[in-house]
Amino acid sequence: MSTTSTAVNEVVLGWSERDLGVEGRVLDVVRAPDPVLSTRGADVDPTDPATVQLAADLVATMRVSPGCVGLAANQVGVSARVFCVDVSEHPKTRGHHGTYVLCNAEVVESSRNEKAREGCMSVPDLTGDVKRASRVVVRGQLPGTGEEVTLHASAFEARALQHEIDHTDGFLFLDRVAGAHAIHPRKTYL
């Protein structure tokens, strides 16, 4: 069991893309079978100006994409271990940390598996049932300051984090589907 607090991480909650100090650009989202999606990204220096710009670009691209709750650098064609998340507007969200970007993130603890249906902007025609932990502890660095943060996430935010960290490791939800009957054609497009 973790001995750290399971409360919301105030540093992450208080972070916003304005802290980056650069204007984000909207980038094109790449789709499977682009090989960049199946390749583990390089670890990055979170204080590198290129990383800071990438972080701003990811948030800007997420913002203009309807229903998008997270976007990884691989999805804009950059093989780097960076992603953004914002589940605050999603109806399945319980607790959350607002908008944030993490670099070199990894899941350090996970528990309480639940199955739910996921989609992905890079796999626009399919959805899949994926079992994921509903409670996770994730560690990564904030872009800009490079501050290392550890956050406890649950429910939909936990799912989003695992989906994005999978992207940075070169995995799609397709690699995690529960079985042959767990793949579905997408019926509604946001």
Partner 1 sequence: MSSPAPLHAVTVLGHDRPGIIAETTGRLADLGLNLEDSTMTLLRGHFAMMLLCAGDAEASAIEAALQPLTADGTLTVTVRDVPQEDAAAPAGTSWVLTVHGGDRPGIVSSVVARVAEVGGNITDLTTRLAGDLYLLVAEIDLPGGADVPALEAAVTAAASDLGVGATLRAVEADDL
Give the helix/strand (H/E) hosting 103. Answer: strand 100-120
Does the annotation list 163 as a binding residue? yes
Closer to partner 1 by CB, 31 or 90: give it. 31
The letter for the amino acid at 145 is: T
Q: Are 186 and 128 in contact (CB under 8 A)?
A: no
Residue 178 lies near partner 1 (rule: CB under 8 A): yes
Does the annotation list 120 as a binding residue? yes
Which residues, in sequence order, are bridge partners of residue 127?
184
Give the helix/strand (H/E) hosting 160. Answer: helix 155-168
What is the size of the binding site for partner 1 (CB under 8 A)?
A: 24
Give every CB contact of residue 52 below 8 A, 6+ residues apart in sequence.
20, 21, 22, 143, 144
Residue 174 lies near partner 1 (rule: CB under 8 A): yes
- Could you tell me which of 70, 79, 129 has the C-alpha nearest to residue 99? 70
Compute the distance between CA of residue 25 and CA of residue 22 in angstroms, rounded to an integer: 9
- Binding mask 18-57 toward partner 1 (x if CB under 8 A, else -) reads -------------xxx-x--x-------------------
Asked if 164 is an active-site residue, the reply is yes
Active-site pick, 17, 118, 157, 164: 164
Closer to partner 1 by CB, 161 or 172: give it. 172
- Binding mask 111-130 toward partner 1 (x if CB under 8 A, else -) reads --x---------xxxx----
CB 186, min distance to partner 1, A: 9
DSSP string, 162-190: HHHHHHHTT--GGGGBSSTTSEEE-----
Binder to partner 1 among 5, 7, 181, 187 (CB under 8 A)? 181
Interacting residue ranges for partner 1, rule: CB under 8 A: 31-33, 35, 38, 113, 123-126, 131, 171-172, 174-183, 185
The residues carrying an active-site annotation are: 164
